[in-house]
Amino acid sequence: MSTKLIINNIVKDPKWKKIPCSCKKGVIMESYPVKPCIHCKCNQQNESIPSKIFIIKDKNNKDVEIKTITLVNGSLDDCIGWNF
């Protein structure tokens, strides 16, 4: 059985990757999330996308295996959500 999740609507070269990081590495008060940084925010959103098949409970409390999700992308091709 494959454990790899199928992800639809993924952008191969998202716009946010072209925005440079504005953080000062090693300085907590000058780094994301304390200081706003579009690049780091988008990267964190991208890293939160699931990569493996997962199980949820339906309305009848039965297990449902989720094998495919569809990303919802923002204006910078950043993942602002996903659904199944």
16-66 per-position pLDDT tens digit: 999 999 999 899 999 999 999 999 999 999 999 999 999 999 999 999 999
Residue 64 lies in a domain: yes
Residue 58 lies in a domain: yes
pTM: 0.82
The residue segments making up the domain with residue 59 are: 6-83
pLDDT for the residue numbered 37: 96
Residue 1 lies in a domain: no
Q: Is 26 left (phi over 0), alpha (psi -120 to 50) or beta?
A: left
pLDDT for the residue numbered 45: 95
Residue 72 lies in a domain: yes
- DSSP character at residue 17: G
Contact indicator for 6, 67 with CB cutoff of 8 Å? yes
Query: Residue 69 above 80 pLDDT?
Result: yes
Structural domains in the chain (count):
1
Which pLDDT band, with edges at 50, 70 and 90, does 3 fall under?
confident
Contact indicator for 65, 57 with CB cutoff of 8 Å? no
Rounded to an integer, what distance in angstroms lies between the CA atom of residue 40 and that of residue 4?
A: 26
Residue with tokens 């990303």: 71
